[in-house]
Structure 1
Amino acid sequence: MNDKLTQIYEMQQSLDERIVTDRGIEKSLDEWVIGITLAMESEIDEIRREVNWKWWKNPKPIDKAALQGEVIDMWHFLLSLSRVVGLSADDIHRIYVEKNAENHARQDGTSAKEGYAV
């Protein structure tokens, strides 16, 4: 799994570097975080548009390929944001594994974090 994560991380790095170079983009960390998170919000809206969330309208068939494509667009921006804040593919894997274990501990009521006792 980590090899696949490393592969898509490196692919995104290459795309990001191409866009920055070809378009002559210069941004501060703040500007990158704001810009990428705004793009992610836009992608979330596009994901939502692919499903039947409007209870006042007749449902439509869900185009699963289009929905999956929008989710992948979100992955592009998530990988870009990860890179901008200094997370490597290995960091993403390690910190995710640690946080996932903590989230399970919270659900088990064994976390030191308050508010999760069962």
Structure 2
Amino acid sequence: MELQQMYKMQNELDRRIESERGLEREDLLNEKILALLVEIGELANETRCFKFWSSKPPSTKEVILEEYVDGIHFLLSIGLILPYDVPEYARLPEVTNENPVRAFLKVYESVTIFENNRDDVNNYNQLMEDYLMIGRILGFTTEEIQKAYLSKNQVNHARQDQGY
């Protein structure tokens, strides 16, 4: 996955939103961490992986992928605030735990660890790796994630054009 390109695109979107909303001097890290948590929950809800009481199937792969890249947007945005050195590429991790419920719980735990110690780049890197693991468990390829990110980034710009 071409992370530097995605960080650049995310930076452009973030700067645009902050400029148009007069937020250039605001510290938005807490808001972005909460937004990430909400997006993780929305993703889990679309997968329905925890809904043992329901026989309704998960949403389509396209819907789940779009929710997944919403989380990528906030992960990148958080990385830009701190800022961390960004590797040029990221590879999806090898699946070591195929249980999506455990993977979601691990990501929530990683967000909490990161939130409690934001200065340690290792916490951010672990959070990114754990989130990428969810993508792998859900069966997404690097190419699918990147393409969906690019598409959703365009949607986000169009939403700003329309006063979203």
Q: CA deviation at 1:64?
A: 0.8
TM-score by length of 2: 0.50
Partner of 1:108: none
Partner of 1:75: 72
Percent identity of equivalent pairs = 32
Counterpart-to-counterpart distance in 2, 1:76 and 1:59: 28
Q: Which amino acid aligns with 1:77?
A: F
SS in 2 for 1:89: coil
Counterpart-to-counterpart distance in 2, 1:39 and 1:87: 20
Question: How many equivalent residue pairs?
Answer: 92
Q: Which amino acid aligns with 2:87?
A: D
User: Computing the radius of gyration over CA atoms, which structure comes out larger, 1 or 2?
Assistant: 1
TM-score by length of 1: 0.68
Counterpart-to-counterpart distance in 1, 2:19 and 2:58: 41
Partner of 2:35: 39
Counterpart-to-counterpart distance in 1, 2:40 and 2:15: 24
SS in 2 for 1:88: coil
Tell me if 1:27 matches 2:26. Answer: yes
- Which ranges of 4 or more aligned residues in structure 1 deviate by more than 4 Å? none
Counterpart-to-counterpart distance in 2, 1:59 and 1:90: 40
Q: Which amino acid aligns with 1:81?
A: I
Counterpart-to-counterpart distance in 1, 2:21 and 2:12: 14
Unaligned runs of 5+ in 2: 91-120, 127-164
